[in-house]
Chain A
Amino acid sequence: MKLFVLNSKPADPNGYILQGLMRALRRAHRGELCLIDPADLGQLPSDPDRQALLVYGGEELHRLPSERLRRLFARRAVWFTEDPYERGPNRLHAELFQCVFTNDSGSVHAYPAARHLPLAAAADLLPDLAVTVPSRLAFFSGTAWPNRKRLLAQLQQATEDPAALDLHLVANTVVENTPGAQGLAAGLQFSSPIPISEFSLRAARSLCTLVIGRDFSGSGAHLFSRSPGPRLFEAGFTGSCQLVHAGEIAEMPADLEEGQHFLRFHTLHDLLELLAAARQRPQRFQAIGAAMAARIRSHHTYDQRARVLLEALLQCPPEPIHVPAADQQPLRLLFLSHEQARPGFHHGGAGLCLQAILGATPSHVQVRVLCRAGDDGRRFELFDGQGALVGGFRCRHRMDEFSLHHPEFEAQVAALLAEWQPQLVHVNHLIGFTPAVLPLARRAGARVVLTLHDYFVLCDSWNLLDAQQHFCAIDSFYDSRCVGCTAARRSQFVAADPLQRRVVMAEALAHVHQLIVPSAAAEAQLRGVFPHLPAAAVLEPTAAGPAHPLPPADGEELVVLLPGNLAANKGFHDLWRVLEQVELLDLPVRFRVLGRVDGWIRRQLGAHPRVELAGPYGPGEFADRSSGCDLALFLSPWPETYCITFDEWARTGRACFFVAIGALAEPHRQRGLHPASRGFKPHAVSALVAALIEAATPAGLSRLRRSHPLAPFALRGSGSEGAGDFAQRHWQLFAQVLQRPQPDQPLPWRSRPHQRWVGAAASAGHVPPLRGRALWRARLRRLAYALPGGHRLARLWRRWRGG
């Protein structure tokens, strides 16, 4: 039996009690043992007959998804530890559990079939400090409830030797704000809380310890625990004789006998008599304390409590659970895309891949796509599989590509995951989101798949180019160049520390069930820096459309094609140096630029006499519009993870000069390329110009224009099914990932509220507080966004205002 223990009250100041129980359970339980956070329930495998749940505490149980608990665990137990103070809410939740235990004997009757299980002691709460002779007469430590303050003040006043008393009172805010209950009598003082180990040591050095109840309630509804709390056992464990207030602790555990294990007092007078007797005959009190300590060691430790809890769980009949068969449940997939997934949007390579996958969605699958809406970093839109807008949200604070953490956005994503409950989340690109989406999706119970289209997870220079557009060839996690490089590239911004960013990414990526990379070369580059990642699936994008041998140019000039996007990181600077030399040498070479070109480059190239700007091309137009070229150049100076245009060109049967790095350098892409094709090192401009000179000669032109059988890799997936095949391989992989068993142990993750998250890319500056109309406008805006559909209302408002 796998036992999962859930603490219903995180950040509990008495959390050491649960951990004492956990240590005992570790000793007593032969099966697996796991302490889980409520947020990790989504990660647990559905195996109810072999999984049992123990909930400790009981507070805040309303936050737990009871239906999910029923589906995950056929045996469920709860140990309420805050009775009687939480008895009302506890009663509402008790029916979820077959076994109910309460710390308070007076609360047993409140539940249909509960058992009293008092809190206990743990040997390892007491540091190893030998105390032979007690140096103090009596010890008390606890919250300064009014009844305690009264009794201890009277004791202090009446005792002959106040220095023999070790009284430690911690102020309670509610009490100290209640008229008539504030303050302490002369001779007493409030102290700071002490660790439980210090409590034990102070008890150990005292002959007696006072056990006084709590007679106070902030609400006025007084409730009294009939049985003692954990301090009785913790102090009793040390051998200090327990003096128990009979009026406030009505019932002691049945196996502890008055006079043998502890002593009682009803009034101050009784107590003073006991202390006087203790002073006169300490041996008797030490003997009682020793008997109590022995009894606690044998019957009241968390080892004993762990055995009781485990026995109850093992003996309780498992609840029959109906889990819908997986094939009966509708399959829901959520995609996260940095580009809009709607028809007509001008996508980059990653977007094209996603469009292909969406286009092949099986009919039984429901799809949602969460996209960034525009570049303002605030709006996010949710589309269905057909590109229809079905939802979205707007964040008050902007998110940019530097943001490592964004609580507002992450809360929205968590809400979407909780509402839509996808079985699989595919992150097509992390840019524009925070790394936390990966653990959030996993915690929501989804399988997480991430495609790494580039190296964004390694560096915010997603192509690993430095400020001089040179590839850094990073191959280790801690590369000393990264800090300087980031500062040089982002000198105008206060960017995230690159190593901290990589740490956060490494942790987030550990939550991914399946990585997808477009090439083995890309995986090798990623694994050099992130060796901990699981093996990735290589799914190479395949260009759509049939293989189409193209005629070369027919004149005496060499016609060179520059296909695809042209930007600084696509080798423009090298191209410009080539152009300068071609012009200088007056070579018979013309260039045709086919594809999207950055504006400043377009202006620069537009004036060049040897360059024709052919503009962007649409789907299926590539072959026709590149007809009549002898040679294509692929000059990206970084190891591209894939290049669909390279594959498209290879299908034309013509030659190319390319920078042999990344996916383009993979051996299988070289086999069968036109024999005049050549690979170059990055920035090898002279070699490139020399090759162009040779190519422009009659012999060179003849070689280039000779027809050649198409490259085998270029034929793979060719035909109208090319993109479809790529998409089908994704859907097959998704199905495999969904069929894999869920890991037994959840992978913990917590939000990182300490991380800087908003405006990480902006320079820090003082924001003056809002006043007057601006303040009211801001409040109104906040209210509007808080309303259901508020972002739509705001969008209408902005349109109406012309914003």
Chain B
Amino acid sequence: MRVLICGTCAPALNSNYGLLQEITLGFEQLALSGAAVEACLVPLETLLDAIGSWRPGAVLLVGGLALDTIALPLVHHACAQVQARLVFWSIEDPYELDCMLRHGHWFDLILTSDYASRCFYPGHWQVRHLPLASPDRPAPGADQQLRHGARWLFCGVSFPTRLAWLNALVPAYPDGLLIGPDWPDYPPPTRVRRHRISAAVLQALYGALPLTLTLGRDLNLANAAGVVASTPGPRLFECAGVGGRQLVCGAGLELGCYYEPQREVLTAATLQEAVQQLEWAEANPGAMALLGERAWLRTQAEHLYRHRASRLLSWLRDL
């Protein structure tokens, strides 16, 4: 099957464009392993032409629909002309869920990265839960950690819940590296870098620093029903995918569907637990290395984009 992949806005505006490339790579890896699939990533500007000329069996749109950047009636029409299935992988649920509910009728199949959001989609639509995943990265080597540097890392936007966690954590455990726009100043030794970094640099840091904090997003843009997210975001999988050692704060039990708590990732429901875990991690570097290796192995077994691609293809066959 030919799968044409595209974002919902122009690549120049799409901060998730790297994700689209990794998803495409996932399909290509699946093809290398013998699956009858071809994948092609195109920019939005050429999507309509590509549907007509390449004649895919499925068109996979990835992203969100909050911005009026994609003309779904036209994409739907173009797919109908070549009898292609139109699939959407919503990676902004539940924060932009209302936009999906507004436009979802155009799609043959909707994939949502959030399990809880799936329960709110109209029940007569074809909706499946498909979490995000990790690119395929080599196994972590020995002795790759920086000897002098921060003891923990967090990279991301300063959403209110994240701010609350870090405001509480930093005084107790200040030796960390905080990357992302709009973070307040914290006194040394906390290092605050208000920059955006590339995915490649971030993945290098995951491996090089002793511990990465994983804090969920909580910023609704269009979520009138107030649906609460349940599935962890892509960072969880990406960090595990390079053998990073994570402390996941405030995650629900669904985390256990992907990684085994305390064996593949550390978890903390409260600030007190988080501090205890940080102390334990500091005191047990050998156990932490093992934890990172196990996370990488689990990712290799279940959470690469080629696994997601495989599942998507099976759903497409069932349509």
Asked if A503 and B70 sit within 8 Å, CB to CB, the answer is yes
Q: In the complex, which of the residues B71, B225, B254 has the most CB atoms of chain A within 10 Å of its own CB atom?
A: B71
Q: A19-B123, A192-B228, A195-B229 are in contact. Are A532 and B257 (CB under 8 A)?
A: no
Cβ proximity bits A10-44 to B, threshold 8 Å, 1 near / 0 not: 11110110111111111000000111000000000
CA distance A499 to B45 in the complex (A): 10
What A residues does B148 contact at CB under 8 A? Answer: none
Asked if B123 and A26 sit within 8 Å, CB to CB, the answer is yes
Asked if A129 and B257 sit within 8 Å, CB to CB, the answer is yes
Asked if A35 and B253 sit within 8 Å, CB to CB, the answer is no
Q: A506-B71, A748-B102 are in contact. Are A127 and B48 (CB under 8 A)?
A: no
Whether B66 sits at the interface, judged by CB under 8 Å, is yes
Asked if B48 and A476 sit within 8 Å, CB to CB, the answer is yes
Q: How far is the CB of A96 from chain B (nearest CB, A)?
A: 24
Asked if A201 and B252 sit within 8 Å, CB to CB, the answer is yes
Asked if B253 and A20 sit within 8 Å, CB to CB, the answer is no
Asked if A503 and B71 sit within 8 Å, CB to CB, the answer is yes
A residues 484-520 near B (Cβ < 8 Å) are 499-500, 502-504, 506-507, 509-510
CA distance A754 to B67 in the complex (A): 9
Whether A310 sits at the interface, judged by CB under 8 Å, is no
What A residues does B230 contact at CB under 8 A? Answer: 127, 195, 197-198
Whether A202 sits at the interface, judged by CB under 8 Å, is yes
Q: A478-B46, A507-B72, A754-B66 are in contact. Are A198 and B252 (CB under 8 A)?
A: yes
What B residues does A201 contact at CB under 8 A? Answer: 252-254, 256
Asked if B228 and A531 sit within 8 Å, CB to CB, the answer is no
Q: In the complex, which of the residues B68, B115, B224 has the most CB atoms of chain A within 10 Å of its own CB atom?
A: B68
Whether B222 sits at the interface, judged by CB under 8 Å, is yes
Whether A755 sits at the interface, judged by CB under 8 Å, is yes
Q: A129-B253, A194-B252 are in contact. Are A124 and B74 (CB under 8 A)?
A: no
Q: In the complex, which of the residues B44, B115, B123 has the most CB atoms of chain A within 10 Å of its own CB atom?
A: B123
Asked if A532 and B76 sit within 8 Å, CB to CB, the answer is yes
B residues 11-61 near A (Cβ < 8 Å) are 44-49
Q: How far is the CB of B136 from chain A (nearest CB, A)?
A: 24
What B residues does A504 contact at CB under 8 A? Answer: 68
Whether A125 sits at the interface, judged by CB under 8 Å, is yes
Asked if A127 and B225 sit within 8 Å, CB to CB, the answer is no
Asked if B122 and A127 sit within 8 Å, CB to CB, the answer is no
Whether A67 sits at the interface, judged by CB under 8 Å, is no
Whether B120 sits at the interface, judged by CB under 8 Å, is yes
Contact of A476 among B49, B76, B222, B228 (CB under 8 A): B49
Asked if B222 and A754 sit within 8 Å, CB to CB, the answer is yes
Whether B105 sits at the interface, judged by CB under 8 Å, is yes
Q: A35-B123, A477-B71 are in contact. Are A748 and B105 (CB under 8 A)?
A: yes
What A residues does B78 contact at CB under 8 A? Answer: 531
Whether A196 sits at the interface, judged by CB under 8 Å, is yes
CA distance A192 to B230 in the complex (A): 13
Q: How far is the CB of B160 from chain A (nearest CB, A)?
A: 11
Cβ proximity bits B202-225 to A, threshold 8 Å, 1 near / 0 not: 000000000000000000001011
Total contacting residues, chain B, CB less than 8 A: 42
A residues 530-547 near B (Cβ < 8 Å) are 530-532
What B residues does A22 contact at CB under 8 A? Answer: 122-124
Q: How far is the CB of A478 from chain B (nearest CB, A)?
A: 4
Whether B289 sits at the interface, judged by CB under 8 Å, is no
Q: How far is the CB of A675 from chain B (nearest CB, A)?
A: 42
Whether A396 sits at the interface, judged by CB under 8 Å, is no
What B residues does A507 contact at CB under 8 A? Answer: 71-73
Asked if B121 and A19 sit within 8 Å, CB to CB, the answer is yes
Look across to chain B and name the residue whose beta carbon is closest to the beta carbon of A530.
Answer: B74
Q: How far is the CB of B164 from chain A (nearest CB, A)?
A: 11
Contact of B123 among A13, A25, A129, A193 (CB under 8 A): A25
Q: How far is the CB of B65 from chain A (nearest CB, A)?
A: 10
Q: In the complex, which of the residues A34, A197, A502 has the most CB atoms of chain B within 10 Å of its own CB atom?
A: A197
Whether B226 sits at the interface, judged by CB under 8 Å, is yes
CA distance A25 to B48 in the complex (A): 35
Asked if B124 and A15 sit within 8 Å, CB to CB, the answer is no
Whether A205 sits at the interface, judged by CB under 8 Å, is yes
Asked if A193 and B253 sit within 8 Å, CB to CB, the answer is no
B residues 244-279 near A (Cβ < 8 Å) are 252-254, 256-257
Whether B290 sits at the interface, judged by CB under 8 Å, is no
Asked if A15 and B225 sit within 8 Å, CB to CB, the answer is yes
CA distance A90 to B74 in the complex (A): 43
Q: A12-B225, A35-B123, A195-B227 are in contact. Are A510 and B73 (CB under 8 A)?
A: yes
Q: A195-B229, A196-B119 are in contact. Are A33 and B71 (CB under 8 A)?
A: no
Asked if A13 and B74 sit within 8 Å, CB to CB, the answer is no
Asked if B116 and A198 sit within 8 Å, CB to CB, the answer is yes
Q: In the complex, which of the residues A22, A478, A499, A507 has the most CB atoms of chain B within 10 Å of its own CB atom?
A: A478
Q: How far is the CB of B43 from chain A (nearest CB, A)?
A: 9
Q: How far is the CB of A662 from chain B (nearest CB, A)?
A: 23
Contact of A20 among B44, B115, B119, B254 (CB under 8 A): B119
Q: How far is the CB of B161 from chain A (nearest CB, A)?
A: 9
CA distance A672 to B267 in the complex (A): 84
Asked if B116 and A197 sit within 8 Å, CB to CB, the answer is yes
CA distance A503 to B48 in the complex (A): 13
Whether A128 sits at the interface, judged by CB under 8 Å, is yes
Look across to chain A and name the residue whose beta carbon is closest to the beta carbon of B74.
Answer: A532
A residues 713-755 near B (Cβ < 8 Å) are 748, 750, 752, 754-755
A residues 335-380 near B (Cβ < 8 Å) are none
Asked if A750 and B102 sit within 8 Å, CB to CB, the answer is yes
Whether A480 sits at the interface, judged by CB under 8 Å, is yes
What B residues does A502 contact at CB under 8 A? Answer: 71
Asked if A195 and B72 sit within 8 Å, CB to CB, the answer is no
What B residues does A532 contact at CB under 8 A? Answer: 73-74, 76-77
Asked if B74 and A11 sit within 8 Å, CB to CB, the answer is no
Contact of A21 among B77, B123, B256 (CB under 8 A): B123
Whether B69 sits at the interface, judged by CB under 8 Å, is yes
CA distance A197 to B256 in the complex (A): 13
CA distance A198 to B216 in the complex (A): 15
What B residues does A198 contact at CB under 8 A? Answer: 116, 228, 230, 252-254
Asked if A480 and B253 sit within 8 Å, CB to CB, the answer is no
Cβ proximity bits A262-300 to B, threshold 8 Å, 1 near / 0 not: 000000000000000000000000000000000000000
Asked if B123 and A480 sit within 8 Å, CB to CB, the answer is no
What A residues does B66 contact at CB under 8 A? Answer: 754
Asked if A15 and B120 sit within 8 Å, CB to CB, the answer is yes
Contact of A197 among B48, B225, B254 (CB under 8 A): B254
What A residues does B44 contact at CB under 8 A? Answer: 478
What B residues does A750 contact at CB under 8 A? Answer: 102
Asked if B45 and A202 sit within 8 Å, CB to CB, the answer is no
Asked if A13 and B226 sit within 8 Å, CB to CB, the answer is yes
CA distance A21 to B124 in the complex (A): 9
Q: How far is the CB of A13 from chain B (nearest CB, A)?
A: 5
B residues 113-153 near A (Cβ < 8 Å) are 115-116, 118-124
Q: A11-B225, A13-B226, A129-B256 are in contact. Are A19 and B73 (CB under 8 A)?
A: no
Asked if A500 and B68 sit within 8 Å, CB to CB, the answer is yes
What A residues does B122 contact at CB under 8 A? Answer: 19, 22, 35
Look across to chain A and name the residue whose beta carbon is closest to the beta carbon of B46.
Answer: A478
Contact of B48 among A129, A196, A478 (CB under 8 A): A478
CA distance A89 to B46 in the complex (A): 54
Asked if B119 and A124 sit within 8 Å, CB to CB, the answer is yes
What B residues does A205 contact at CB under 8 A? Answer: 253
CA distance A500 to B10 in the complex (A): 12
Q: Which are the 6 A-B pairs with shortest beta-carbon distances? A: A22-B123, A195-B116, A532-B77, A16-B119, A23-B123, A11-B224
B residues near A (Cβ < 8 Å) are 44-49, 66-74, 76-78, 102, 105, 115-116, 118-124, 222, 224-230, 252-254, 256-257
Q: Could you jot down 16 A-B contacts, CB within 8 Å?
A: A15-B225, A16-B119, A20-B123, A21-B123, A33-B124, A129-B253, A129-B254, A129-B256, A197-B116, A198-B230, A478-B44, A500-B67, A500-B68, A503-B71, A531-B74, A532-B76
Known: A20-B123, A127-B230. 6 other contacts (CB 8 A): A16-B120, A22-B123, A194-B252, A195-B116, A506-B71, A507-B72
